[in-house]
Structure 1
Amino acid sequence: MLQEKVQQSTFSKTAGSIDRRENLSRKELIKEYIEPSRPVILTDTANKWPGMGKVTPEFIKENYGHLKKKIKGVEYSFADLIDRVLVSSAENPAPYPFSINVEYYCPELRKEFKPEIVYSKIDRINHPLLPRFMMHGTEVYEIFVGGKGAAFPFLHIDELYLHNQATMLYGSKEFILYSPDQAPYMYPQPHNPKVSQVDAVNPDYERFPLFRETRPMRVTIYPGETLLFPTGWWHITQIHEPSISIGRCHLSHANWDAYVRDEAKVWRRKENATSSFMALAVLAYGKVLGKIMDIQESFVR
């Protein structure tokens, strides 16, 4: 009860709502939401996906239950994790984040999530000239499975300054988002400016007094709905029932330079014999490739 009261008071100052749209063309999406850096929920785009209604807890357990994953240092089978998700509670939540790298564990599932939503005039993430090693530090396609009481553990901006897509396949998930102009209140970690020091659910206002000024947006997405939000939006998630969603990251002209710089930093932090060379290669190649993509997009109407 005390935690519920804290949550209510923490998120009492909201910053409006997020549009729910249908029959939105790519041109309208870019003009009305991507270019102004506004989140949006697409209510109909994923309805025709073959995987909608198919990818359930039972499906994952039956087809991938033998696979294993470590969460916070403990190894579980997918079957065990699914069982825990189904009985998860606020008092005893299932291990989270239980995330599945689709391209690593189950690449055959990619066909279940098409036609893909394209965030820009071209799909830069899947461009034939962008090798996957230049996405080091993140997963492009990632399934998240969570149970009641689970929450993403920290307030953050997504890795590599990528744009975010989350489509609900089963159950529901709540997102709490903070617009980019609230960055001065976020108290980023000294070693990682994309992660806040603040526990957004139970903030310590003595240590982080400016966090009182934040105005979050709260939204819950349901099966068939897709939440899109550009980089720069801080966010956490909370789960109130068994849920499965698939996340996909995106690139556009707006976040390309930030992505390239951050990808180079990822390689530089590896501190091995080739890390400095790879960082320089990423910067040089990324700059050239960005220009090529800009030219390609100039011919797309």
Structure 2
Amino acid sequence: MTAMEPLGEGLEARPVARAAASDIGALRRAVARRSGPLLCSGLLDTWPARSAWNPAALAEHHGARQVTALLDLPDTGVLFPRDQRHYERKLSFAEFIGRMESAGPSAPCYLAYQRAHEIFDPADCDFASLLPPDRYPTDTRVWIGSAGTRSMLHSDLKDNFFCQLWGEKSVTLLSWRNSRAAYPFPDNLVNSQVDIAAPDMGRFPRLRDAVLHHVRVGPGDLLYIPRGWWHDIRAHTPSVSVNHWFGRPIGLPQYLALLGILGPAYWKATARDFIAHGLLRREEPTRFFFSPPSTGKRLYDALRSGDFSRGNDPSAS
């Protein structure tokens, strides 16, 4: 893609910068500078996971393993109509692969947020060759699902290598500094109220002036997503992906600054959840896609432990 791409409702997106598969230096510079997303096409072609993690091989070698997957997911809307547990089913990996390959986009299914080492050989993904060592914990997760799966617009605390091993997905991105245009939920600063595929420009007018980026990723592609960058990921085909979080997470000062500019509705929601889910320890609903703790609960944790990201840092749990 060399020109602005229309996304619907008058939105357009810039192309994501690209680097050659052999140019590891460009990837490392992008990580060091956090200058923006970068696509490295074909970078993963030599990884064992490219051949070992296709659906047929996974079913053959891991088919008897019991997994908990999300079945018959909604294909519209930002929040789950029901609590996430309503969609969870236990089944064998082989049964899930069969469901994944036959599911239509109107009722997608997902085995997602699964730690790679709990099922697969982590050596199949050679992240160590891409990154110099650092002192912060890392975490690697696997995402296996049908066409139509959606990770709605959200922001992660850490830098992210998103790796496509099989199938195709598209990714739309928005920088951290444009977080007001993402319209976070008042009770959760890392999840957006916006459905990028069908945005309500009347409710979300700041989107018109936001700088979006868009890219389609295929087998062997690695997409670097800097920490804080909002991203919406959608599968066009049955798909196997893996992502790797690394580096220093965004901390309390940055989120307090964002909370400050978002206004009173956000302050009230934070105070409410600070009391309800922090002080009173009430269970939080899970209607986001793999719901993180509310902002109020995270602030409560930060005041107790000094770590705002403790409850939303994948590597910490």
Length-normalised TM-score, structure 2:
0.68
CA contact (8 A) 2:52 2:58 kept: no
Map 1:242-257 to 2 at 5 A: 242-252=238-248, 255=249, 257=251
In structure 1, give the amino acid aligned to 2:116.
V
CA contact (8 A) 1:164 1:231 kept: yes
The SS at the match of 2:199 is coil
Q: Which residue of 2 aligns with 1:61?
A: 59
Q: 1:100 aligns with which of 114, 117, 120?
A: 114
Q: 1:109 aligns with which of 116, 121, 138?
A: 121
Cα deviations by residue, 1:142-190 (Å, 9 ceiling, x for unpaired): 11112122222x21102xx111111111112111111233222111111
Higher strand share: 2
The SS at the match of 2:178 is helix
Q: 1:239 aligns with which of 235, 240, 245?
A: 235
Q: Which residue of 2 aligns with 1:230?
A: 226
Q: Which residue of 2 aligns with 1:81?
A: 96
The SS at the match of 2:228 is coil
CA contact (8 A) 1:142 1:248 kept: yes
Structure 1 distance, partners of 2:278, 2:130, is 31
Structure 2 distance, partners of 1:146, 1:259, is 36
CA contact (8 A) 2:16 2:39 kept: no
Give the share of equivalent positions with the same residue, in percent: 21
In structure 1, give the amino acid aligned to 2:149.
A
CA contact (8 A) 2:227 2:250 kept: no
Q: Which residue of 2 aligns with 1:123?
A: 134
Aligned-pair Cα RMSD in Å: 3.4
In structure 2, give the amino acid aligned to 1:112.
D
CA contact (8 A) 2:39 2:222 kept: yes
Q: How many residues align?
A: 252
CA contact (8 A) 1:162 1:259 kept: no
Structure 1 distance, partners of 2:9, 2:144, is 26
Gaps of 5+ in 1: 1-6, 128-139, 287-301
Matched, 1:155 2:153: yes
Change (3 A) 1:217 1:256: closer
CA contact (8 A) 1:34 1:230 kept: no
Shift of 1:125: 3.9
Gaps of 5+ in 2: 1-5, 71-83, 257-269, 282-297, 311-317
